[in-house]
Amino acid sequence: GPVGGRDGMNGLPQVWDELRRRGLAKGDVPPAMPAEAATPWHVRLMLGVCGWLGGLLLLVFAGLVMPDPFDSHSLVVVGVLLLIGARMLLHGQPPELRAQFALSLCLAGYGAIAVAGAAWLPVWGAFLAAAGLGLVLAVVMPNAIARCFGVLALLLAGEGCFRELGWPSPVPAIAAWGCAAAWLDETRWAHRLGQSQAPVSWGATLALWVLGLAGALLPGMDLSVPPAWRGLAWPAYLLAALPLAWVAWRLSARARPAVRGWIAGTAFTLVLAGAWVPGVAFGLMTAVLGHARARVPLWVGGLLVALWSMGWFYYAQAWSLPRKAAVLLVLGGVLLLAWRGIARLGAPEAGHE
């Protein structure tokens, strides 16, 4: 039968008492095994640098021994070999040095195959091949960083493919809804996906931040809908920004009805603003999720994305100074209301400190 009572193992003392009652153990509770000391961060940093340096030297050696290292056929062969080698090195629980070395090989292999695809395929086909290869990395590679990179490459390359074809892209909406669902129900998804949960969540989050900043940093990959699809522009923007309102509604479930209504109204106002500046909606949504889940990198990164997008939108407008001042005042008030709402939203999920 189960040891430790109805709830199973409730701790070493309870289990030891149960074993003594059944005559399976004698004496006092044995001392707990000391936990292994974590490797200091500066040691991990040096090991990581050594691993990446080893990968760079291996690439230089491959370039010297190959007759034409920039030939597309050679790039494919080298890329596949690098990915296979990285997968083998990442098997099991590799030490830090080996893991970083394998990660450098993984990214180099992805880049080599992507460059070869760009030489063989049309631009949209190269993006599609890069997205498919990102999916392979996300599924096959056991390393969390490699999987995160795979999810990021899948979403961004998919966005580039849709932009190149001139079709309305569902990628921003998929990334936004996926990010919101992954962080809102983090424990449930961790139970279902296991170690894949964190790479998928962070990959979708990073892709969402890049898409939010695309209008300012990557003009060729902005979220503008092609002229043939202008009628879908507003619904597409709204669908991508709507998860902000869903997150606010879910996290304010324990608030009083009046407070919850005020939070929902503020969130919908920000959703409408996000239809013009997607980075604001994406950044604020991740900032709210990071605050509610006690994830400092998540809320800091989201807040920086929102501020950057807001500043870019403000300075990109050819408005008069009085109009800009009025808009800046309104934006400041909206941010103040949003911050007060964030302070009232949710609490860290059970199991996260």
- Whether the Cβ atoms of residue 110 and residue 79 lie closer than 8 Å to each other: yes
Question: Distance between CA 266 and CA 272 in Å, rounded?
Answer: 10
CA angle (76 as vertex; 74, 80 as ends), nearest 5: 120
| pLDDT tens by residue, the chain, 353 residues | 444 444 444 455 666 677 777 777 777 766 654 444 456 766 767 767 777 777 777 777 777 677 776 777 888 888 899 899 999 988 888 888 888 888 888 988 898 899 888 888 999 999 999 999 999 999 999 988 899 999 999 999 999 998 888 787 889 999 999 999 999 888 888 888 878 889 999 999 999 999 988 755 544 344 455 555 656 766 777 888 899 889 988 888 877 888 788 778 878 877 877 777 888 889 989 998 998 888 899 989 998 898 888 777 777 777 777 777 787 777 777 666 666 665 555 444 444 44
- Tell me the pTM: 0.76
CA angle (202 as vertex; 199, 208 as ends), nearest 5: 135
